[in-house]
Amino acid sequence: MQLAYQTIKTAEQENIPDILAALEQLSDILCQVTYFSKAYEILSTAAKDINGSAVLHEMIARVAFVMEDFSKCIYHNNKAAKLQPDDCSHNKSDIGLAYYRMGLQTGQNKHFESGFKFCREALELNSMNSNAMVNMGLIYKHQNGIEDALKMFKAAKQHDAINIAAIVNIGCIMYEEYSKFDEAALLFLDALEVKPDDEEALCNLALALKRTSYLDYAKMAFEEAVNVSPGNTFILTNYMMFLLEQ
């Protein structure tokens, strides 16, 4: 990985902004083909050479999150936050999300408490941070605070009308908790207008539609979800169950 970084460094004539841009592009390519460990190693090698780059630590944190190494994600987001104390609301929000995922991973309530704390700090720094609202809503939902979760998701959507996570989570509550399948389906369609290949919105659209009379459309949504994410076992399992039920 040292050689890969040195090649980039030489090609970009040791210009830091250009090196960071090249590293981000390479990291994205590697992650698209699931070479997460290689992306992490190259970025970590760069971090040993480039001191004081919040952007680089954020890149490493994103890769660590995809690898589900939430401790490293938290560590690097904390590093980035310390390097940009006046503009770190997004780092605090990402730390909150990582703690939430760590809580799901370990089943330890203390991680949800930490996640909530960091989301609250993110909102104290930037009251318009819709992602922090969504992450706080996820924690509320996991702890069965459905009404509080719904308030947070709706607040996030109000501040950012195209926040896909907010829209999808409102839809999930509509069909999971209130059996409002048609309303949920419309929300998932709204999310797909923003991002047509969002696998979570597609899968949830299919799950909502299968509870209505629009079974042909449910089948189409499942098929599109499988095309978008053929390796997603949750989508495949639900699609097979749907076919067996017909």
DSSP letters, 170-220, are: HHHHHHHTS--HHHHHHHHHHHHHH-TT-HHHHHHHHHHHTTSS-HHHHHH
pLDDT computed for residue 10 by the predictor: 85
User: What's the pLDDT tens digit per position in 14-67?
Assistant: 889 999 999 999 999 999 888 999 999 999 999 999 999 999 999 999 999 999
Residue 138 CB-density burial (10 A; 0-12 exposed, 13-18 middle, 19+ buried): buried
Please provide the average confidence, as pLDDT, over all residues in the chain: 95
pLDDT computed for residue 6 by the predictor: 84
User: What's the pLDDT tens digit per position in 59-112?
Assistant: 999 999 999 999 999 999 999 999 999 999 999 999 999 999 999 999 999 999
CA distance 27 to 22: 8
User: What's the pLDDT tens digit per position in 217-245?
Assistant: 999 999 999 999 988 999 999 999 999 99
Geometric angle at alpha carbon 227, from 224 and 229, rounded to 5°: 110
Geometric angle at alpha carbon 240, from 222 and 221, rounded to 5°: 5
Judge contact between 228 and 199, C-beta under 8 A: yes
Judge contact between 77 and 118, C-beta under 8 A: no
Taking residues 137-147, report their average pLDDT: 96
Burial 173-191 (b: 16+ CB within 10 A, else e): bbbeeeebbeebbebbbbb
Which is more confidently placed, 31 or 11?
31
pLDDT computed for residue 91 by the predictor: 98
Judge contact between 115 and 96, C-beta under 8 A: yes
Kindly tell me the number of DSSP H helices and DSSP E strands found in the chain: 14, 0
pLDDT computed for residue 1 by the predictor: 65
Judge contact between 208 and 238, C-beta under 8 A: no
Helical H runs in 50-129? 54-66, 70-83, 89-106, 109-125
pLDDT computed for residue 32 by the predictor: 86
CB under 8 Å to 63, separation ≥6 — which residues?
A: 27, 31, 36, 39, 40, 43
